[in-house]
Chains A and B, each alone.
Chain A
Amino acid sequence: MTKQISIPGKRSRIRWLPQDNSLLKYICLAPAVIYDSIFFLLPLVFLVWIGFWSVENYRAVPGFSLANYSDIFSQFFVKSRYAYAIAQSLWVAITTTALGILLCYPFAMALMFLVPERLQRLLLVLAITPFWTSYILRLYAWQTILNNNGLLNTLLIQLKWVEQPVTIMFTQWGTRIGLLHYLAPIIILILYLVLRNTDRSLLGAARNLGATQWQTFWRVILPLSKPGIVYSAVFGLIISLGDVLSGIILGGGTGQSVLGKFPLFSTVILNEYAASTNLPRTSALATILIGIMMIILVSGLKLTESES
């Protein structure tokens, strides 16, 4: 290799036709493969394994016991009530994601079809600005806004729209607002890119063939943007299920929803570890979360398969 570099190109023109099994391929792939194996796959294997360990004298002891799982499942509906936390997590994640797509879709549409071309880029940058600012600080700012004597309530009372402050903080609506603020820039960007990539001539064709605005939307634009909706849904669900900050900072840990005053499952995992530093048990809980995500992912795949 060094020999070839030292040969001046002028003197001898070697016709290099690199083959597919060249050394370069392995050298380029090796760092990523090794890194992901050691610091991604191995920890995940470890996680599942540690779930079967036990704790003695505040130290995790390797072994194989089902104690963590039997204890967790015995508390599914009593005491820690994990089942309720899981249900709360799913409910909040699904409603937030659905809301996110419903609210961001018209936004992306308006951005694409109303805003003049040269302004679009600027407005897109503005729309994804929140994503580049600190999430936890945005949640803190939302506290200032949503508090019982915060910006929103002060405004509503001064406008005489309400008499008593509206309680949003420390309910799952607070959680949803925080999550929406995190998800919106991502969903807007995804949907905007998908809308932008749709073949403009199809819209013209639909109009020429006499379709109304609504027909063009329902029959052409919406079906074409389905991949964007699916991506947004997957991202929204994964992020909402895994997020701890909004549920704690705006949801107050055990926010009220139609299901009742239950914490999110992610909050439970964080709080249990903070209180006990019992890693085996936390690992078992995290493994259960992996299981839930797998079920969602597989059923999502099945759903899209059966439709197409």
Chain B
Amino acid sequence: MSTQRKQGIDLGLAIAGWGYLLLGFLFLMLPIVTLIAFSFEDARFPTFPWTGWTMRWYQELLSDGRLLQSLQRSLIVSPLAAAIATVIGFFAAYALNRFNFPGKNLLSTLFIVPILVPPLILGVAFLGLLSRLNLQGQVFSILLTHVVILMPTAIALISLRLAQMPKDIEEAAWNLGANEWQALYRVILPWAIPGIAGAWLLAFTFSFDEFIIAWFVSGFQPTLPVSIYTFLGANLSPSLNAIGTIVFGISVVLLTGVELLLLPLLLDGRSSSREM
């Protein structure tokens, strides 16, 4: 197939296309490479050309502790928020996929809408409610609010996976004597695992990177992005590059998960759902 579809593209266009891809990747990768490179650069104010090699920004990062503390906080809040969102999302996605009922469209809309509302608006809104409940300014308040913005993608991705499952598998389980719960636990859940894992990854990333809601509700217990924002305003320091490099390490682990779980879901879904 690939030879067939390349026949029609002439050489000039192909060269231009490859050149464009190269330029595109340069743009996409440039900040990441810069971040890593400058975490080892000696000069305090990052300029060019490069002046020397150092590890002291990593030492500064370790001795200061503020950024690391908020990184820790983020590493508690984000996995937890992602887990809660995926669990709730799995059940909702299953119900939407399996049952028909009046108001289903309305409900699906309700489940998707939170991602269409800018986090800036949600941040102000959450603060309004949480400050009435005296729940603002805690790590817990970030957890509560992040679950809201993580659920839509979780529901969407898990639905995608469930929709790829042939309906007769569940029916076969019923006919073999499983009740609804057993079928859900023994048949649907194992099938949905890749979707659930992919959804968790995406949710984790959203939460880990989320700034504005956390800024509004976190108070004196900032997550990593909020902490970095404060750092940027106050004392520009290359330890930001150092923490960036560490965060990038986390991203690489995530990306491996994305390649193994999320992309198959998005790219190969069509072929496996053919029979439907």
A-side interface residues toward B, CB under 8 Å?
1, 4-5, 9, 12-18, 20, 22, 24-25, 27-29, 31-33, 35-36, 39-44, 46-47, 50, 60, 103, 106-107, 109-111, 113-117, 121, 123-142, 144-145, 147, 149-151, 154-155, 181, 184-185, 189, 193, 196-197, 200, 203-204, 207, 213, 216, 238-239, 241-245, 249, 266, 269-270, 273, 279, 282-283, 286, 289-290, 293
Contact = CB atoms under 8 A, between A and B. Distances in A.
B111 to A, nearest CB: 6
B120 A270 contact: yes
Contacts of B32: 129-130, 133, 138, 141
B234 interface: no
Contacts of A204: 4
Contact of B92 (A32, A117, A125): A32
Given A43-B122, A154-B49, 5 more contacts: A16-B180, A36-B114, A46-B129, A121-B259, A144-B46
Instruction: Give the 7 A-B CB pairs with smallest separation, nearest first.
Output: A242-B118, A141-B31, A32-B92, A28-B95, A43-B125, A47-B125, A110-B17
Given A20-B100, A32-B88, A269 B124 contact: yes
Contacts of A36: 110-111, 114, 148, 151
Contacts of B95: 24-25, 28-29
B94 interface: yes
A239 B129 CA distance: 24
A170 to B, nearest CB: 14
Contacts of A20: 99-101
B263 A124 contact: yes
Contacts of B53: none
Q: Is the interface of B mostly helix, strand, loop or mixed?
A: helix
15 contacts: A24-B181, A28-B95, A40-B113, A40-B114, A43-B125, A43-B126, A107-B20, A110-B21, A133-B32, A137-B240, A141-B34, A243-B120, A270-B120, A289-B118, A290-B117
A119 to B, nearest CB: 10
Interface in B52-104: 88-89, 91-92, 94-96, 98-101
A24 B184 contact: yes
Contacts of A15: 174-175, 177
Nearest to A130: B28
What is the predominant secondary structure among interface residues of chain A facing chain B?
Answer: helix
Contacts of A249: 232
Given A20-B100, A181-B28, A197-B270, A132 B254 contact: yes
B28 A185 contact: yes
A286 B125 contact: yes
Given A20-B99, A32-B89, A129-B28, A266 B120 contact: yes
A28 B182 contact: no
A135 to B, nearest CB: 5
Contacts of B174: 15-18
Nearest to A29: B95
A4 B88 contact: no
B38 to A, nearest CB: 6
B276 interface: no
B47 A147 contact: yes
